[in-house]
Chain A
Amino acid sequence: MPNMLAVCINGKECEVEFGTTILEAARKMNIHIPTLCYHDDLCLSGICRICLVEVDGEKTLQAACSAPITRPLHIRTHTEKVRKARRNILELMLSNHYGECYTCFRNQNCELQKLAKEYGVDSLRFGHVELPRHTKDTSSRSIIRDMDKCILCRRCVRTCHDFQGVGALEAAFRGIDTEIQTFLDHPLGDAVCINCGQCINRCPTGALRERDRSDEVWNAIDDPQKIVVMQTAPAPRASIGEEFGLPPGTSITRKLNTALKMVGFDYVFDTNFAADLTIMEEGTELLTRLKDFIVDKKPVSLPMITSCSPGWVKYCEHYYPDYLPHLSTCKSPQQMFGSLIKTYFAQKIKVDPKNIMVVSLMPCVAKKYESDRPEMSASGFKDVDYALTSRELAQMIKETGIRVTDLEDSDFDSPLGLGSGAGLIFGATGGVMEAAIRTVYEIITGEEVPFENLNVIPVRGMDGIKEAEISFQKTKEDWKFLEGKTLRVAIAHGTANAKKIMDKVASGEAQWHFIEIMACPGGCLGGGGQPIPTNENIRKARAKAIYDEDSHLNIRKSHSNPQIQMLYNEFLDHPNSKKAHKLLHTTYTRRGKI
């Protein structure tokens, strides 16, 4: 029986468990307390001091976010002291915040702006910053830092350090000189940053954002010489509606297709197609590694680890360079897709690939870095020219005046527009694993996975690390060496969880054969390019939308996708063929920790 305590907030009474914070108690009682440095996903900090409340018997005001209730309390949330303190603190923040709201990409989605309005800031008694004092750090291909807008809530630091386990950002100097910096103030592009962009999703102001490529995309659309091809990933389709006022978890895939055509894209394809292709390539690679290991007793790198998440790939390059051979050599679906557009598709429509621009809609800012990697141009052309985030594309659509929510549905273009449900669920943590299991199991046994409605439940859900195993009986002739064997898999999302997994791999403690790792919490649906705000409930809603869509599709296994079969017949021969290796596989780079 937990120790319950009586709490009275603004005259309303309630019983809470010992140790509940004042903020949690207030939320339970539907009493609003403003917060800024607090974030549902992050550890407590208690530094912005916006959430101060008056507690009877305490000389000082208490930060509701971090004050645990350990005795019966009388709390008041809007006394004169509290109101004055909040006003003063907000004005202090604003006095050190440079930026004109109407030129800021966070205008109307800025927590500082919202607080200033909510708490009636009508003057700037401590002045304001008239000229910028920092140069924008534009060194990263993914993330732009504008420290003039930083209010030092350190959500980015806690995201990077604690939540993601990366540690590219830290507070430097003291007092009024305090700044958020990379190690030795190196440009972000040279830091250990993995480009996951989780910091952007948690920044309350416009201090952090993605490198905006929408102007370049507009230029391409406006250029009559260019064929502009758009591919949309599954996660943004389940979230971009939030940018247009829809509740989290509303998938607008087919309306978006219509909108994209109206915006001016010549072809709209489905990245899920490339996800299916990834499963064919990666599944085959896994089976080959298993065969090499079991039958031919060759030294192979097992467990094999997925390589779809560019944030994870860079994390591995920085922190576990010795384990790069464990990464699947497969490019991510985005890059496979780009590569095929510039070769297979260009041949089909008889257009010189130099006149084709590939733009992708991604939930991710690391995809920008990935598309700029020099090794991603096996066809002689950049696989993907521009990767846009959900936020950038939403902004482009807003600029056209198109009301997405009012549009008719339309289908993807052919022949790269058909994706299976297996490709779709790539957007959620565990999705790649589930898709792989659906296909690999059937290749080996000739039968569908032994789960109701193909739903491989053990690999789903928001647990940081998930494990599952599946054993093979009645194997087909080619796979007899797997008869009675058990495939052990693990799934991690968020690089802090990836670290736990990799430490087990490094210590030899791990018994897994195949691991799926996504850099972002919840997988791609929680990506750094997704609409702001984010929290676990929003991520769960997006996941639900994705799984619901999968369950209603006719084709739910990658190998059953007829367009994939056609692609192999017409162009690639077979999975892991020489041509497939040239176009669809890649290499990695050892990077240091500094």
Chain B
Amino acid sequence: MAGKRKQILFSALEPGLGLKKALEHTQTEIIDIIKLSRLRGRGGAGFPTGLKWDLAYSAKAPKKFIVCNADEGEPGTFKDRILLNEHAKKIFEGMAIAGYAVGSQEGIIYLRAEYRYLRPVLVQAIDELRKAHLLGKKILGSDFQFDIDIHLGAGAYVCGEETALIESLEGKRGEARNKPPYPTESGYMGYPTVVNNVETFCYVPYILIEGAAWFQKFGTFESTGSKLFSISGDVKKPGVYELEMGTTVRQVLNLVEASDTKAVQVGGASGICVAEKDFDKPLAFESLPPGGSIIVFNRSRDMLNVLKNFMEFFVEESCGQCTPCREGTFRLLEGVKLMEQGQCSIHYLRVLRELAETMKISSKCGLGQMAPNPFLSIIDNFKGEILARDRVTDSIPL
């Protein structure tokens, strides 16, 4: 058990050391180191970070941008808040290294509106880094220059999606763009842009200092390193934990002293809800995609109620752009309400299931593609509970 609690992000880091190491390498060498470390994006999708940087590096443009996605909005996720509040310099150092690697001089941190109170902390960190010549012109005496702007969001969950985030940065309505082109080719203001999660950037200086081989030793082959988890719900010790990738759900439950657990929502509202039969599955991109949040439900919880809560969230947060997400989330919520009232036939439940499957493959962006996840996983994994409550009936034709 204890062996699984490897600390990377929460271990001490000498400010500027990672950046100093980076400046000793060429751009492509850094990209190769990140690729070799097999670091994957910590926002939830798990896209290989080195590959993303390489794409931006290869794009030819007079300007490039590094954007830190600090729009932490996934329900039950609060790990980036800790990093922003207590480890801001690691984030900015990671961004500077990314800037050096892809050839960018401008970084932007997109801070969710609800984290406005953290702005002074970030401003102070940026000021200190500038004074220490770790940001600004002639970084560490070299010809490399890089600086960071703070940009506040306006409270939309969808702006955590990278292209919607970029739209918002440009002052437009936060809505996902068509992909391709991907941001690494045409992002902020049409320039190649790397958008990485707060946590992803934090690992970068450690990898530069300790090496890719060291980082690979943690976690599984597909999912290297450690990961921060925001753990909440029916547990004795909620909080943010740094755990090695591949830790199983059961190990997590033991660690946070959860008892009588019925269900665990992995990856927030857009994640999936696992039942006890899957508690031995590892939290890793190849198994249970970890996201940033773990919400624990014990046997006293009504899963239909849990589902309703998640669906209300998506109805509220769908940007309203594409049909499947805008109308589909609403119809799924209506369906859950029908189930609550005992007005949903098995036939209609099948219709809703097909709708949920359609949303997954037909929505324009990740939000709509993930929104049916709690619906499908709760209906499938807790079918017994939902059917047995005598709330789903076959008698009412719909």
Q: Do A and B bind each other?
A: yes
Q: Residues on A close to B: CB < 8 A? A: 44-50, 52, 59-61, 63, 66-68, 70, 81, 84-85, 88-89, 92-93, 95-96, 125-126, 151-152, 170-171, 173-178
List CB contacts (< 8 Å) of B307-321 with chain A: 314-321
Q: Is the CB of A88 within 8 A of B178?
A: no
For A170, give the chain B residue with the smallest CB separation: B173
Q: Contacts A44-B178, A95-B327, A171-B173; is A178 near B320 (CB within 8 Å)? A: yes
- Contact B364 A63, beta carbon cutoff 8 Å: yes
Q: Contact check, B316 vs A175: say whether CB atoms are below 8 A apart.
A: yes
- Chain B residues within 8 Å of A47, by CB: 321-323, 364
For chain B, residues 177 to 205, give those with C-beta under 8 angstroms from any C-beta of chain A: 178, 180
Would B354 and A174 count as touching, CB distance under 8 A?
A: no
Query: Which residues of chain B are within 8 angstroms of A178 by Cβ–Cβ distance?
Result: 319-321, 326
CB distance from A285 to the nearest CB of B (A): 43
Assuming the A-B contacts A66-B178, A84-B354, A88-B354, are A175 and B326 also in contact, with contact meaning beta carbons closer than 8 angstroms in the complex?
Answer: yes
> Can you give 20 A-B contacts (C-beta < 8 A)?
A45-B178, A47-B323, A49-B364, A52-B362, A63-B178, A84-B358, A88-B324, A89-B324, A89-B358, A93-B323, A125-B348, A125-B398, A151-B323, A171-B320, A175-B314, A175-B318, A176-B318, A176-B326, A177-B320, A178-B326
Among residues of B, the one whose C-beta sits closest to the C-beta of A65 is B178
Give the most central of B173, B180, B324: most A CB within 10 Å: B324
Residues of A within 8 A of B322 (CB): 46-49
- Is B290 on the interface with A (CB-CB < 8 A)? no
Complex A-B, nearest 7 residue pairs according to Cβ-Cβ distance, in ascending order = A178-B320, A92-B327, A175-B318, A176-B330, A66-B178, A88-B358, A85-B362
Residues on B with C-beta less than 8 A from A170 are 173
Q: Tell me if B364 and A59 are in contact (CB < 8 A).
A: no
Rounded to whole angstroms, the CA-CA distance of A66 and B362 in the bound complex is: 13
B320, A152: Cβ atoms under 8 Å? yes
Q: Which of B320, B321, B355 contacts A88 (CB 8 A)?
A: B355
Residues of A within 8 A of B316 (CB): 174-175
Contact B326–A152 (Cβ < 8 Å): yes
Query: B4 to chain A: closest CB distance in Å?
Result: 31
| Set A52, A60, A66: member contacting B360, Cβ < 8 A | A60
Partner among B323, B348, B360 whose Cβ is within 8 Å of the Cβ of A89: B323
Which of A46, A50, A85, A176 meets B361, CB within 8 Å? A85
Supplied contacts A66-B178, A85-B358, A174-B316, 14 more A-B pairs, CB within 8 Å: A47-B321, A47-B322, A48-B323, A49-B324, A60-B360, A60-B362, A85-B362, A92-B327, A125-B398, A152-B320, A175-B326, A175-B329, A176-B326, A176-B329
Q: Is the Cβ of A176 less than 8 Å from the Cβ of B358?
A: no
Q: Which residues of A contact B369 (CB under 8 A)?
A: 60
The minimal Cβ–Cβ distance linking A73 to chain B, given in whole angstroms, is: 13
Minimum Cβ distance to chain B for residue A168 (Å)? 16
Query: Counting CB contacts under 8 A, is B363 at the interface?
Result: yes
Chain B: how many interface residues by the 8 Å CB criterion?
35
State whether A46 touches B364 (Cβ < 8 A): yes
Report B345-376 residues with CB < 8 Å from chain A CB: 348, 351, 354-355, 357-358, 360-364, 369
What are the residues of chain A within 8 A of B329 when measuring CB–CB? 175-176
CB distance from B58 to the nearest CB of A (A): 14
Write the residues of chain B forming the contact surface with A, with a CB cutoff of 8 angstroms: 156, 158, 173, 178, 180, 314-324, 326-331, 348, 351, 354-355, 357-358, 360-364, 369, 398
The CA-CA distance from A60 to B370 in the complex, in Å, is 12
- With A66-B178, A92-B327, A95-B327 known as contacts, the answer to whether A175 contacts B319 (CB < 8 A) is yes
| Cα A95 to Cα B334 with chains together (Å) | 12
Report Cα–Cα, A84/B180, bound state, in Å: 25
Residues of A within 8 A of B314 (CB): 175
- Whether B315 and A175, one on each chain, are in contact in the complex, defined by CB atoms closer than 8 angstroms, is yes
Most buried by A among B158, B317, B358: B358
Which residues on A sit within 8 Å (CB–CB) of B173? 170-171
Residues of A within 8 A of B317 (CB): 174-175
Question: Contacts A47-B321, A175-B316, A176-B315 given: A93-B327 contact, CB under 8 Å?
Answer: yes
B331: chain A residues within 8 A (beta carbon): 92, 95, 126
Closest to B173 in A: A171
How far is the CB of A58 from the nearest CB of chain B, in Å? 9
CA distance A70 to B185 in the complex (A): 13
Judge whether A125 and B320 touch: CB under 8 Å: no
In the complex, chain B residues whose CB is within 8 Å of the CB of A92: 323-324, 327-328, 331, 355
Give A59's nearest chain B residue, CB to CB.
B361
CB distance from B236 to the nearest CB of A (A): 36
- Chain A residues positioned under 8 Å from B326 (CB to CB): 152, 175-176, 178
Closest Cβ neighbor of A179 among chain B residues: B320
Residue of B327, B348, B363, B398 near A176 (CB, 8 A) is B327
Contact A49–B320 (Cβ < 8 Å): no
Q: Nearest CB to that of A93 among chain B residues?
A: B323
Residue of A45, A63, A92, A178 with highest tally of chain B CB at under 10 A: A92
Docked complex Cα distance between A61 and B355 (Å): 14
Bound together, the chains give a CA A44 to CA B156 distance in angstroms of 24
B320 touching A173 by the CB < 8 A rule? Answer: yes
Cα distance A52–B348 when bound, in Å?
Answer: 24
Interfacial chain A residues near B398, Cβ < 8 Å? 125
C-alpha gap A49/B321 in the complex (Å): 10
Complex CA distance for A523 and B157, rounded to whole angstroms: 43
B324 and A174 form a contact (CB under 8 A): no
Complex CA gap A24/B318 in Å reads 30
Contact A61–B320 (Cβ < 8 Å)? no
Shortest Cβ gap from B220 to chain A (Å) = 22
Q: Assuming the A-B contacts A46-B178, A175-B318, A175-B320, are A125 and B327 also in contact, with contact meaning beta carbons closer than 8 angstroms in the complex?
A: no
Closest to B322 in A: A47
Q: How far apart sit A84 and B320, CA to CA, in the bound complex (Å)?
A: 21
A174 to B330, CA, bound (A): 12
Cα A137 to Cα B354 in complex, Å, equals 37
A68 touches B354 (CB 8 A): no
Q: Are B319 and A96 in contact (CB under 8 A)?
A: no
- Bound form: Cα–Cα A84–B328 in Å: 14
Closest to A123 in B: B351
Residue of A nearest to B181 (CB): A68
Q: In the bound complex, how far is the Cα of B323 from the Cα of A96, in angstroms?
A: 10
Is B362 a contact of A174 with CB atoms below 8 Å? Answer: no
In the assembled complex, the Cα of A67 lies from the Cα of B315 at a distance in Å of 27
Interface centre among B318, B319, B320 (most CB of A within 10 A): B320
| Docked pose: A89 CA to B362 CA in angstroms | 9
Measured CA separation A50–B351 after assembly (Å): 19
A-side contacts of B319, CB under 8 Å: 174-175, 178
**Residues on B with beta carbons closer than 8 Å to the beta carbon of A70:** 180
- Cα–Cα distance between A95 and B178 once the two chains are bound (Å): 26
CA distance A308 to B319 in the complex (A): 41
Q: Which B residues touch A151, using CB under 8 A?
A: 323
Which residues of chain A are near B315, meaning CB under 8 Å? Answer: 175-176
Residue in B closest to A87 when the chains form the complex, CB atoms: B358
- Complex CA–CA separation, A100 to B330 (angstroms): 23
- Chain A residue nearest to B369 (CB atoms) is A60
